[in-house]
Structure formats: structure tokens, C-alpha cells
Amino acid sequence: MLELSGIAVSPGVAIGKALILDREGYRITRTEISPEDSEAECERLDQAIRQAISLLDQRCAQTTRTAGSQVGAIFAAHQQFLLDPVVRSEWDRLIRVEHVSAEYAVSTVLNRFAQAFRQFGSDMLAERVEDIRDVERTLLEALGGQPVALPGQLEEPSILLSHDLTPSETAQLDPQTVLGFCTESGGPGGHTAIVARGMDLPAIVAVGPFLHRIGKDSLVVLDGYHGKVLIDPRPDILRRYEEEILLRRDRSLQLGKMRSLPAKTRDGRRIALFANIEFPAEATLGLERGAEGIGLYRTEFLFLGRSQPPEEQEQYEVYRDVVERAQGKPVVMRTLDLGADKVNAGLPMLAESNPVLGLRSIRFSLRYPDLLRSQLRAMLRAAAHGPVRIMFPMVTTLEEWRRARAIVDEVMGELERAGWRAAVPIELGMMLEVPAAILLLDKFAPVADFFSIGTNDLIQYTMAVDRSNEWVADLYAPFDPAVLRLIRRAVEVAEAHRVPISVCGEMSSSPATAALLIGLGIENLSAPPSALPDVKQAIRHLRHADCRQVAERALEQSTASEVRRSVQEFLQESAPELLQHEVLPR
């Protein structure tokens, strides 16, 4: 058995035969043409570009239908790349001056871009390499051939193993036969990952070189929850994964049946479950998995990986898509949360030495108020089609809140004068991610309509630990009593002022931490669609009184490991079935 690990970018477990797509070494050989043929060759390239653009139109329409308009927009961005005058003049120059074939010119220029992107040393640019490869393959296909064809009709369910996979190729996979994929290269924010999530296809990227170690008839287990790939697994491990697939299938069937049943603890405490989404298609998935609405829509994902931010009209269309998919259930739209690790949105970002503590989130939006205004206009226009709540991320001071609110009032006034009406009155809320805001929460409570705790950032800012720095990962501890005390304090202040409070950070997604949150008094959880079945099942297994007891004990404990241990003991005693497949967070 060979065990490999990479970055899990799309959850799910799949087992299938290895389907190897090995084309890393593929290069277009240099073919010279005679100088008098160069005009005709440029013409041929012209025609191929037109054909590629119409091919991308089809891809855009097809993926918009299957995975949502934001995934479709990836291919619209590829069209822009094909029309870029700088790229075009480089292709023409090679054909006219060096007298080479259009294929060679296309491949050479795009390879140079890909290399430059890789060498910048930024993950974000490296992730765009797959888009360049995609443009290259589409154009080579239009010029009359495809480097290495994707698998056609497959006889057996398979797991695709490849050096890379472009977003177009991912969109063309048939999920009936390709059950998941794993690539040597790629990154979590890449478009291939985004398309995979939109298609609900388990995927792992950035495994490093491994294809040469795989035999043709190997059996592959892909664990898209933990980023593990097992080649020719030992029989006992294979059996465990087969059971896990059945169990998960069974669980989602059960949830399908429970869908309309409330998430209620055994002693009758009703918990509302909402979905966290990045893309419109996930709203549908969330509702299918029992969500009562969208608790966090991370709108910045519409901005990432683009050379220009989307115009108001495009934003409106995407936000409206989410509202319509939510079918009358509430949608909490978060304003742009750019900065820190979310950059590359076609906007001016400063070179900050400490971006996590810098111009990010609401600070960024207030620094560029026109951008915020156009986003708010788009959100408010979408709110004419269903219940929308607007939420500001990372609010630290009351002044920030007042400035943001004043902009909302101004934009709303403009729209009202033009005849706009919201489907239901707009509520404005804030995320609690910075300890300073929780310490002064009694000052925010009279002016905010709702609070939502972003535990991912709250842990980061409470423990003074960069959430994406592996060297200090052991300090990133959801079970730390300091974090729990802040959450408890937030709940107390919110309750005293009757302001609804929820949690939308990752602590909502695992049964163990969700149990603690419920014990701390949280009645409203928002988690990714994939986590909802497990969380709902946990709620229905537990008693609120027990959760409360374990949370009270945790508030008095001294370290994260003490809390973790007592939560584990509690689950072992009261609901051992929950621990079977649950990996407790650190």
C-alpha cells in the first residue's frame, strides 16, 4: 500500500480504479514555417481564437447550468485572456519574426507566462497556472489537436490521477464514472478546486510527484476529508473506507428523511442550522442537506482570481441567483472580506508586512467606499427578490460600524428614491471576530440587528496565532478556554440585549465543537453544506443539559487539552456513535 497526502479541496470519499493521465512531459515541438506563410499562419491563429472563444461560450453555459454562474465565469475570464492584446502581439511576433507554427507560438508564450507566475513565489499566482494551461489546451484543440485527450467513455468507476487538471477539463468529467481526482500540482484557491466543489466531486491537489509510482491496474482510495490518497490499500483499510462510504450514504439518506425534522436535542432544545457558502450552487446543496437558510455567503469569492472586480450588475445577478436558490429562506450576505490570504481580486492591495493585522475585511471596504457602495447596491437590489441580511466582517470599533451603516443608509435612500423595495426589512449585522468587539459588545448591541461569531478569526486574534501558519498551528485551538470565555461573554451580552447571535466559523462544523457551542448557549449554527448531516445527527443525539454541563466545566478549565479531553469523555459516554468517524479538532 502506498499512502500519499495532499491538500483536500473538495470533500468526500471515493474508491475506484486508477485512471492515469500522464502528460507532464508533453511539449509542442518547434516547427518552422516559411516567411511568406506567416500571414496565413496568423490568420489560422485568428480563426482558432474565434473557435476557442465559442468553445468557451459553450463551456461557460454548461458549467453555469451544472455548477452555478460563478464557476461558469471562470471560462469567461479565459476568453478575456485569449483576447489580451499583449499575449496576442507576442504570438504574432513569434510567427512573423521567428517564423514558427501557431501551435509552437501559443505554447511557448503561454509557458513563459506560466513559468513567470510560478516564480513570483505567490501561491495565488501559482494557482493561476492551471488557468493558463487551460487556455493553452483549448487553443491547441482549436488549432486542430488536443495534447492528451481526456478519458472518453469509461467502463469502470475510476479515480483520475494526473499531474494537473485544468478547470475546463474538470468541468468536462462525467461524475458517473470519474468519482474523484487527485493531482500532483494545484492549490486550494485554484479554479480547478472551485469547479470540483461546485460539482460535488471529491478532490485532492498538490500531492507532489507520484504518478511514476502507480501501476496501471491499481485501486485507489481518495479521502477528500483528510487529503489522503491510498494506492492499493490493505484489505482492512479498504473495508473501513467501504464502510465509511456506506455509512455516509446512509447518513445522507437518513438526513434526506430527517430533512424536514428540526435539529432538536433529546431534551427539546431547538437549534437552527444554516449553510455557509462561497458560490450560488452551494445554496441549493445546503438546502438539500436541511439548511434553514444561508448563514454566511462569502461574497469575496466572486472577486477572487480576476483582473477586474465585477461590476454592480454582475454582482446583482449572482446575488439574486443565491436569493432565488434559497427559495424564500433568509440569506446572510457578508460584504467583502478581502485581504490577508484573500487577495488577487483585481484590486489595489498594499504590500503589508503583517496583512492579517492590516487593511483587510471591513477596513478594506471602508478604505474603498465606492467599491462597498456598488456591492451594497447589488445586495440591496437582490434583496427585492427574497429575504436578505447584510453582515460586516471583522468589525473592531464602533466608528467602523457607524461608517458602514451610514453608507448602507445612503445607498438604500438612493434606491428607494428610484422605486426599490426590499422583500423584507433589511437587517444589518456584524461578525464577532476580534476580541475588542466582544469586550465592548454592550455598546454594539443597541445598534446591531444580529451578531455572528467568526470563530476562525476569533481564535486567530485571541491566541495571536496566524491561522494559516503551520509552525504555530498547535496554538490554533478551538478548545482553548480563553476562546470559550469570549464566546460565552458574547452570548450573555447578546441575550441581555435580545440580539440574535449565531456562530458561522468552523467550530459549527464538527459535532464536538458544536456540542460545546450549544452548551455555551448558541442556538444558531452555520456550517458548510457537507458538514450539516453530521452536525444535525449530533444535535439529535445529545441532551442540551449535558452540553451545558460540559461547557461550564470547560469555562473553568485551564488548557485546551484539558477541555478537549473532557469533551471527548463526554461524547464517549453520551453518544459514542458520534466519535466513530469524528476526528476531534486540535
> Which single residue brings its beta carbon nearest to Mg ion?
457
Asked if 456 is part of the footprint of ligand PEP (rule: CB under 6 A), the reply reads yes
Q: How many angstroms separate the Cα of 199 from the Cα of each of 178, 195, 281, 285, 421?
A: 12, 6, 9, 10, 35
Asked if 228 is part of the footprint of ligand PEP (rule: CB under 6 A), the reply reads no
Least separation in angstroms between residue 458's CB and Mg ion is 8
Asked if 505 is part of the footprint of ligand PEP (rule: CB under 6 A), the reply reads yes
Total Cβ atoms within 10 A of residue 496: 11
Task: Report the residue number, 102 or 453, with the smaller CB distance to ligand PEP.
Answer: 453
Tell which one of 455, 462, 513, 537 touches ligand PEP (CB under 6 A).
455
Q: Strand order in 7-10's β-sheet?
A: 2-5, 228-231, 219-223, 13-21, 158-162, 178-183, 203-205, 7-10
Q: How many angstroms separate the Cα of 241 from the Cα of each of 83, 91, 197, 226, 246?
A: 47, 49, 21, 12, 9
Q: Cα torsion for 40, 45, 50, 52, to the nearest 10°? A: 150
The site partner of 455 among Mg ion, ligand PEP, none (C-beta below 5 to 8 Å per kind) is ligand PEP
Amino acid at 503: V
The site partner of 504 among Mg ion, ligand PEP, none (C-beta below 5 to 8 Å per kind) is ligand PEP
- Cell 485568428 locates to 46
Asked if 454 is part of the footprint of ligand PEP (rule: CB under 6 A), the reply reads yes
Active-site residue identified among 163, 182, 385, 504: 504
Q: Phi/psi at 566 (nearest 5 deg)? A: -70, -30
Least separation in angstroms between residue 61's CB and Mg ion is 34
Quote the CA–CA distance of 150 and 136 in Å, as a whole number. 15
Binding part of the chain for ligand PEP, among 35-43, 139-147, 201-209, 448-456 by CB under 6 A, reads 448-456
Task: Report the residue number, 422 or 535, with the smaller CB distance to ligand PEP.
Answer: 535
Binding part of the chain for ligand PEP, among 187-195, 404-412, 451-459, 538-546 by CB under 6 A, reads 451-459
Asked if 295 is part of the footprint of Mg ion (rule: CB under 5 A), the reply reads no
Output DSSP code: residue 408: H
Least separation in angstroms between residue 397's CB and Mg ion is 17
Tell which one of 298, 381, 389, 544 touches ligand PEP (CB under 6 A).
298
Least separation in angstroms between residue 508's CB and ligand PEP is 9
Q: Phi/psi at 196 (nearest 5 deg)? A: -60, -45
Question: 412 to 441, contacts with ligand PEP by CB under 6 A?
Answer: 433
Asked if 339 is part of the footprint of Mg ion (rule: CB under 5 A), the reply reads no
Asked if 457 is part of the footprint of ligand PEP (rule: CB under 6 A), the reply reads yes
Asked if 508 is part of the footprint of ligand PEP (rule: CB under 6 A), the reply reads no
Task: Give the three-class secondary structure for 328.
Answer: coil
Quote the CA–CA distance of 385 and 421 in Å, as a whole number. 10
Asked if 127 is part of the footprint of ligand PEP (rule: CB under 6 A), the reply reads no
Quote the CA–CA distance of 130 and 219 in Å, as a whole number. 27
Least separation in angstroms between residue 505's CB and ligand PEP is 3
Enumerate the H helices of 356-503 as residue ranges. Answer: 362-367, 369-382, 398-417, 435-439, 441-444, 455-463, 481-496
Using N-to-C axis directions, what is the helix angle for 69-82 and 280-288, rounded to 10°? 160
Asked if 504 is part of the footprint of ligand PEP (rule: CB under 6 A), the reply reads yes
Would you mind telling me the total number of residues written for the chain in this entry? Answer: 586
Q: Are 1 and 197 in contact (CB under 8 A)?
A: no
The site partner of 546 among ligand PEP, Mg ion, none (C-beta below 5 to 8 Å per kind) is none
Least separation in angstroms between residue 457's CB and Mg ion is 4
Active-site residue identified among 78, 163, 191, 544: 191
- For residue 116, what is its C-alpha cell? 513567470
Asked if 454 is part of the footprint of Mg ion (rule: CB under 5 A), the reply reads yes
Asked if 466 is part of the footprint of ligand PEP (rule: CB under 6 A), the reply reads no
Least separation in angstroms between residue 187's CB and ligand PEP is 17
Asked if 5 is part of the footprint of ligand PEP (rule: CB under 6 A), the reply reads no
The site partner of 505 among ligand PEP, Mg ion, none (C-beta below 5 to 8 Å per kind) is ligand PEP
Active-site residue, 191 included: yes
Query: Count residues contacting ligand PEP (CB under 6 A)?
Result: 10
Asked if 457 is part of the footprint of Mg ion (rule: CB under 5 A), the reply reads yes
Q: Which of 222, 220, 241, 244 is nearest to 232 (CA)?
A: 220
Least separation in angstroms between residue 527's CB and ligand PEP is 10
Q: Phi/psi at 270 (nearest 5 deg)? A: -85, 125
Residues pairing with 389 in the sheet: 332, 427
Binding part of the chain for ligand PEP, among 81-89, 244-252, 450-458, 544-552 by CB under 6 A, reads 450-458
Quote the CA–CA distance of 204 and 227 in Å, as a whole number. 6
Please give the residue ranges that form the binding site for Mg ion (CB under 5 A).
433, 454, 457
Please give the residue ranges that form the binding site for ligand PEP (CB under 6 A).
296, 298, 337, 433, 454-457, 504-505
| Catalytic residue IDs | 191, 504
